[in-house]
Structure 1
Amino acid sequence: MRAGDLLRQLDQRLLPRLATVLTRLGQGSARTPLLGWVAVLSCAAVLATAVFATGGGPLSDRTVGEVTRVGVADGDSIPGYERTAAADLAALTGATALAEGTYALVSLSAYLTPQSLAAVVGDVGVAVVFGRVPLPDRQTEIVRIPAQRLPEDVTAGMAALAQRKDREAADYRSRAAALGGGGPQERELRQLYVSGAQVAAAEASAYRSGCACVYALVVRAEPAVLRGVAARPGVRVVDPAPEVRRLERTVFTPPLPEQRDVARPPVDRDPAPEPLPGAVSGSPTPSPTLSWSPSAPDPAPENRTPAVPDVTDSSPSSAGSPPTSPSAPPAPPATSADAVLAGEPDPTP
């Protein structure tokens, strides 16, 4: 019986009797205290009945505060992770899977373009893709792009990333130009700003061209379909995660394609120091030029940064000294706060 029906029956039965009692009590000398007590008891009875009928208060979400991690952790063996994931996939059965399918982290053997990714995935339901611009010897931001339609959603996400990277590059350049002073700290900070602008500009150019930057994705399918995905060319490993219920409370850490032995922070070359005023220099050494390439040529392991919530900040590289201004030095450049494209929740395929 619903709460509304129960309360309606209580009104039909109790109100006439209460009216009769109140009429009789109103004729007595102590009607004021008695009327108050009768009203209090009546309200208490109605409230107790309503709570009983609705089954108490709403149940709280027991998963609040819980974070599920899927992937390889820093310092872990990548071959060991691949063997464990393959064993888990082989042991996955329909009884352990959800009715809508099981989420799985798919790591790729190489960086792919959005069009190449669509050819590898086929008709399997996709929820999220992970990417980064593989600049040589540079740490670049790992991004998480919600995607259900391939390649359209990934291409649109890259276009949005290119715009954000353009803004970051412009902000770095303006900070470098506004930084005054010629002391060692000012020169070092100015160098970081200028090289950060170079990296951000290189990332923007790569994303705008639809680069081969995608290296992992999250899919949802039946166990048999997931095993079929693991056997496709270009797929490195499929890590099933039947424990995952909500993507926004899951941190995925896939290995980068160039990682082969142990997951560790990448080697990031420091920018060349800015020459001191009046210093005598020998043969000039050209500064390395940042350019995007479809794969990172350095076999050194890259950083594996979680997608939700931490990211690898775009690291600065070498560059010349920009003009200075008499303004006071600003605070160091802010890093990206989130790897997920702002304002886009993870969809569920």
Structure 2
Amino acid sequence: MRAGDLLRQLDQRLLTRLSGAVTRLGQGPARPRVLPSAALLSCLAVVLAAVWTTGERPIGDRTVGEVTRVGVAAGDSIPGYVRSAAADLAALETAAPEPGDGTYALVSFTSYLTPQRAAAVFGDVPVTAVFGRVPLPDRQTEIVRIAAQRLPDDVVAGMADLAVRKDREAADYRDRAAALGGGGPAERELRQLYVSGAQVAEAEAVAYRSGCACVYAAVIRAGAGTLRGVASRAEVRVVDPAPEVRRLDRAVFTPPLPEQREVASPPADKGLTTPEPSPTTDDRVRESPVVRSATPVPTGTTVAPEVTDSSPVPRSPTPASTPPTTPPTSADTSRTASPEPTG
């Protein structure tokens, strides 16, 4: 019984009796203790109803601060991940009924696709975001996540914004290289880092501006039958359903790169790691800046590129000492969930 119903019943019963008692008191000798007793009972009933009401209040969202990871982690077996995701997809049909709008799933491609080709793969399947990077030979490049509900238009627009940012990064690297004075070994090595960073940023800008074949994964939402249909397409490597994901802002997706075949690991980088570009006040492309090391890295050392969100909303730059990629959380659900990109 709800608190409102309880109060109505108390009103009907207690008020009727109180009114009868008042009438009898008016007709007979005074009984001063009757009214205080009745008032006390009425107050007690109101207190009990209030306690009943507080018991019906909804419990707060206990998932606040939790992040579900979907995909592969560094060192994971790629064939094992593909088998596990296929098994999850097969089991989805026999699981509890899906929400009306379907289940979120991480789709990884066999190769890098252009925005137009990615649009052809999905057709009218709802897409929420795509992952991409410029696949330069023997170089680690920035992994980006582009919000995309309309393919290919949103992806093309996101790439155009990325090209503008990469032009700014290249200019910043060159300014830093030119500002270095002297000719000591440390300065020469740092200058090489800046020049290398400028070259990579310029190549990324050119690729994004041309609408490159840079898309290698996407997050979609659909029913089990539709997800199976997507998984059967030639360009699709694996569809990893994530029924445990209810909110995208509490999920981290880490798809394998197309070149990762056996173990999830960063792509080989024969060049030096690029330093961090100086932040700009008009950085309207990425949601969180990539943090790169400005310290010279020994030849042969590989550092995984970070995932960057593409967004029209400028954010404050992350300090260089802040660890990249993973958003700060108070709790982290391991998947029944799984983890974020290695590439």
Alpha-carbon RMSD across the aligned residues, in angstroms, is 3.8
Instruction: State how 1:321-340 maps to structure 2 within 5 Å.
Output: 339-340=308-309
Number of the residue aligned with 1:71: 71
Distance in structure 2 (CA, Å) of the matches to 1:336 and 1:139: 6
Structure 2 portions without partners, runs of 5+: 16-42, 274-285, 297-303, 315-343
Number of the residue aligned with 1:301: none
Q: Is the 8 A contact 1:141 1:314 kept in 2?
A: no
Are residue 221 (structure 1) and residue 222 (structure 2) matched? Answer: yes
> Counterpart amino acid of 2:89?
L
Question: Alpha-carbon deviation of 1:96?
Answer: 3.0
Distance in structure 1 (CA, Å) of the matches to 2:91 and 2:195: 51
Question: Alpha-carbon deviation of 1:101?
Answer: 0.3
Distance in structure 2 (CA, Å) of the matches to 1:110 and 1:132: 12
Distance in structure 2 (CA, Å) of the matches to 1:101 and 1:310: 32
Q: Is the 8 A contact 2:110 2:237 kept in 1?
A: yes
Query: Per the alignment, do residues 102 and 122 of structure 1 end up closer, same or farther by CA in structure 2, a change over 3 Å counting?
Result: same
Query: Per the alignment, do residues 244 and 311 of structure 1 end up closer, same or farther by CA in structure 2, a change over 3 Å counting?
Result: farther
When normalised by structure 2's length, the TM-score is 0.67
Query: Per the alignment, do residues 155 and 98 of structure 1 end up closer, same or farther by CA in structure 2, a change over 3 Å counting?
Result: same
Q: Cα deviations across residues 123-144 of structure 1 (Å, max 9, x unaligned)? A: 1110110000000100000000
Number of the residue aligned with 1:300: none
Instruction: State how 1:53-68 maps to structure 2 within 5 Å.
Output: 53=53, 59-68=59-68
Question: Alpha-carbon deviation of 1:266?
Answer: 2.2
Instruction: State how 1:1-349 maps to structure 2 within 5 Å.
Output: 53=53, 59-93=59-93, 95-99=95-99, 100-271=101-272, 339-343=308-312
Distance in structure 2 (CA, Å) of the matches to 1:120 and 1:245: 24
Q: Is the 8 A contact 2:3 2:49 kept in 1?
A: no
Distance in structure 1 (CA, Å) of the matches to 2:137 and 2:62: 44
Question: Alpha-carbon deviation of 1:94?
Answer: 6.1
Aligned residues: 266
Deviates more, 1:79-88 or 1:92-101: 92-101
Q: Is the 8 A contact 1:128 1:219 kept in 2?
A: yes
Number of the residue aligned with 2:279: none
Distance in structure 2 (CA, Å) of the matches to 1:225 and 1:337: 31
Distance in structure 2 (CA, Å) of the matches to 1:48 and 1:200: 68
Query: Per the alignment, do residues 231 and 314 of structure 1 end up closer, same or farther by CA in structure 2, a change over 3 Å counting?
Result: farther
Query: Per the alignment, do residues 46 and 189 of structure 1 end up closer, same or farther by CA in structure 2, a change over 3 Å counting?
Result: farther
Question: Alpha-carbon deviation of 1:59?
Answer: 3.6
